[in-house]
Amino acid sequence: MSEDDLFKKAVQDVSPIKRKDTVDIYSQKPKPKPIAKKLIEDEKKVLRDALSDNFESIDYFLARDELFYLKKGHSPEIIKKLRNGSWVVQNSIDLHGLTSDEAKIALVDFILFCKQKDIRCIRIIHGKGYNSKNKEPVLKNKVKKWLIQKQEVICFIQAPNYDGGSGALITLLEKN
């Protein structure tokens, strides 16, 4: 008889001890919920495709040569607080060097990430357009249009000079 057979014969009548003072932590852990990767991918595509490059709005303003946007129904005090630094920039994205399509995808994904992480105040660096054809800013104008279309965006202001100036926007997102 082999050692394996001897062991099996020796323990064949053994049953586990049932003790009330111990806890089986392995069988009590809830199984993680499955991640619907295709659904998430499809939702991201819908969100990206929902943003129009040709969207026109008179909802953003120039005041003191400074651009800002405030979603309807919100207090103008929010703009003042954002300018004064009441909200600290928690994360930022740099869209320099990206094509319009790449920038749109990156921006939608970034806002989605920030919402999931409860990040409210973000910096979006779109650049000033110095490397564009005819030195005309492309992303700068499109980013503003995209942000106005995003339900999550409460307001944005032109970043202070030390934070990118006219090449960046400080944006406040809604609470979760």
Residue ranges per domain, the chain?
A: 37-48+56-173
Is 0.85 surpassed by the pTM of this model? no
Residue 107, class by beta-carbon neighbours within 10 Å (0-12 exposed, 13-18 middle, 19+ buried)?
A: buried
Q: Read off the pLDDT band of 42 (50, 70, 90).
A: low
Asked whether residue 43 carries a pLDDT value surpassing 80, the answer given is: no
Whether 27 has a pLDDT exceeding 90, the answer reads: no
Predicted confidence (pLDDT) at residue 44 exceeds the cutoff of 80: no
pLDDT at residue 45, rounded to an integer? 65
Secondary structure, 3-state, 123-163: EEECCCCCCCHHHCCCHHHHHHHHHHHCCCEEEEEECCHHH
Contacts of 171 (CB under 8 A, 6+ apart): 121, 122, 123, 124, 147, 153, 155, 156
φ, ψ dihedrals at 173, nearest 5° = -100, 155
The residue behind tokens 């009330």 is 20
CATH topology of domain 37-48+56-173: Ribosomal Protein S8; Chain: A, domain 1 (3.30.1370)
- pLDDT score at 63: 47
Give the percent of the chain with pLDDT over 90. Answer: 34
| pLDDT score recorded for residue 16 | 73
Convert the pLDDT of each residue in 93-131 to its tens digit. Answer: 999 889 989 999 999 999 999 999 999 999 999 998 777
β-strand partners of 93: 124
How would you class 103 by CB atoms within 10 Å of its CB: exposed for 0-12, middle for 13-18, buried for 19 or more? buried
Q: At CA 172, angle to CA 167 and CA 176, rounded to 5?
A: 145
Backbone phi, psi, residue 109, to 5°: -65, -40
**For residues 123 and 8, which has the higher predicted lDDT (pLDDT)?**
123
What pLDDT does 138 receive? 84
- Of 127 and 49, more confident: 127
Percent of the chain with pLDDT over 70: 77
Do residues 71 and 154 touch, judged by C-beta distance below 8 A?
yes
DSSP element (H, E) containing 106: helix 100-116
For the segment 54-100, what is each residue's pLDDT rounded down to a tens digit? 555 545 554 445 678 898 889 989 999 999 989 999 999 999 889 98
